[in-house]
Amino acid sequence: MGDGNAAIRLDEGEVGRIFREESGRSLAALIGVFGDIDLAEDAVQEAFAVALGRWPRDGVPPNPGGWITTTDRNHAIDRLRREARGRELLSEVAVLLPRRDDPGKPPEVGPVQDDRLRLIFTCCHPALSTQARMALTLRLLRGLSTKQVASSFLVTETTMARRLVRARHKIKAARIPYRVPEAHELPDRLRPVLTVVYLVYNAGLTGSAKPDLCAEAIRLARILAALMPDEPEVAGLLALLLLSEARRASRTRPDGSLVLLGEQDRTQWDRALIEEGQAILRRCLRRNQPAAY
Amino acid sequence: MTHYLLSVHSVEGEVREPMTDEEMARSHEQLAVLEQELKSAGAWVASGRLHDPATATVVRMADGEVLTTDGPFVESKEHLGGFYIIQAEDLDAALGWASKVTGAIKVPIEVRPFAGFEA
């Protein structure tokens, strides 16, 4: 830490922030192509290292998401070429891979279905423990580091690393599928996903954890709402989180004690969030299908 | 395809609603239908039912000699009562079969992937 160069530190922070925002989609796409979470994660890490070296100097590419996807895909391919088993795998997936193109060039428009939806259903598969589901979702969908996930759940980094390794191992060994459940399975499978998002939000409310889990939960809910626009439960959860978030700042006094709803300073409430939440609720009400959230 | 072991666990001495003869017959019938279903879907690899653990014998090496002892390897209340070995596309498919088994015999089923069968 110390008194390093503030400008560079800021840049690295900024690179990290942009990268994290965009990398979930790339990671999900990569897992879709190679069917291997470890390989995909390593490749995204390598792309991050490249970005750290290049972006502060050359500036952020016009389409950071496309840049990351291209760069990490190339890293994954390079790595597979070096391994015998990998070359086999590569010949299987070759048909699925577009030409190796110039990083920085905007990528072709992705498949109709965003891979992040498949990824979240894998991370929140009922065969995994709730703790593992939360940790995996934050790690893979939101790009938090193992250390950050560990500190969010108040466990040591080693414990969290072990938990993540075990979950990834189970996904691979037991072949937890990487796909969006079919319509008839959806009610059973969507519930654990929504629960994970809700629990992440609550974990953010109770702790002063860094990173801000409330914000992470809302981003997850937004991703889900964008990917599943016709699911009233998803919309309901997003609305609930937005309306809670609008009041979050006024929920506690500076000393951390709780302020009851009637005593809260309403001028502190976030009008924009309230309006967004209420607009979603009105749309849900028109559909007239009340459900849990 | 991955191979999975569906193991049927019974708890010794656990008080269960005793099955009536009729229920027993229905359960057997459901299992027979299910086994047929597994076979025609190409999912069935092997299956079997075991006698109670008191009939088990353990063989182990001790000081370079083979030692044979009476009784199960692990003294525990839960024991393996039977099993299916199936092959399935993924865990969801395996869990689907397991749900049918537990629906027929009303005891918990553990689903576990075999190592080294991935292909």
> Tens digits of per-residue pLDDT, B75-114?
778 888 899 999 999 999 999 999 999 998 888 999 999 9
Hey, is A96 helix, strand or coil?
helix
Residue B39 lies in a domain: yes
Q: Is A103 left (phi over 0), alpha (psi -120 to 50) or beta?
A: beta
B64 belongs to a structural domain: yes
In chain B, how many domains are there?
1
Domain containing B108 equals 2-113
The CATH number of the domain covering residues in A1-97: 1.10.1740
Burial class of residue A79 (count of CB atoms within 10 Å of its CB; 0-12, 13-18, 19+):
middle
Nearest chain A residue to B3 by CA distance is A174
**Which tokens is A292 given?**
């849990």
User: Is there a contact between B92 and A174 if contact means CB atoms under 8 Å apart?
Assistant: no
Q: What percent of chain A has pLDDT over 70?
A: 83
Search chain B and give the residue with CA nearest A176: B91
How far is Cα A284 from Cα B77, in angstroms, rounded to an integer?
A: 51
Q: Do A176 and B95 touch (CB under 8 A)?
A: no
Q: Is residue B119 domain-resident?
A: no
What residue type is A250 in one-letter code? Answer: S
Residues of A with CB under 8 A from a CB of B: 125, 127, 173-177, 181, 185
Higher-confidence residue of A188 and B17: namely: A188
CB A3 within 8 A of CB A93: no
CA of B78 vs chain A CAs: smallest distance (Å) = 21
- Chain A: give the shortest CA distance to residue B116, in Å: 9
Tokens of A266: 């309403």
Q: pLDDT value at position A93? A: 62
Q: Are A175 and B2 in contact (CB under 8 A)?
A: yes
Is 80 exceeded by the pLDDT of residue A262? no
CA nearest to A173 within chain B: B113
pLDDT tens figures, B34-51: 999 999 999 999 999 898
Q: What is the C-alpha to C-alpha distance for residues A14 and A12, in angstroms, rounded to an integer?
A: 5
Q: What is the pLDDT of residue B22?
A: 85
- Residue B67 sits in a domain whose CATH number is 3.30.70.1060
Please provide the average confidence, as pLDDT, over all residues in chain B.
87
Q: Where in chain A is the domain with CATH 1.10.1740?
A: 1-97
Q: Is the pLDDT of residue B19 over 80?
A: no
Distance from CA of A224 to the nearest CA of B (A): 22
Residue B14: the pLDDT is 62
Tell me the Ramachandran region of residue A205: left when phi exceeds 0, alpha when psi lies from -120 to 50, beta otherwise: alpha
ipTM of model: 0.80
Q: What is the pLDDT of residues A237-246, one digit of tens each?
A: 999 999 888 8
Q: What is the tens place of the pLDDT at every residue in A9-21?
A: 557 778 888 888 8
Residue with tokens 């593992």: A132
CA distance B62 to B43: 40
Segment A182-193, tens digit of pLDDT: 888 888 899 999
Q: How many residues does chain A have?
A: 293
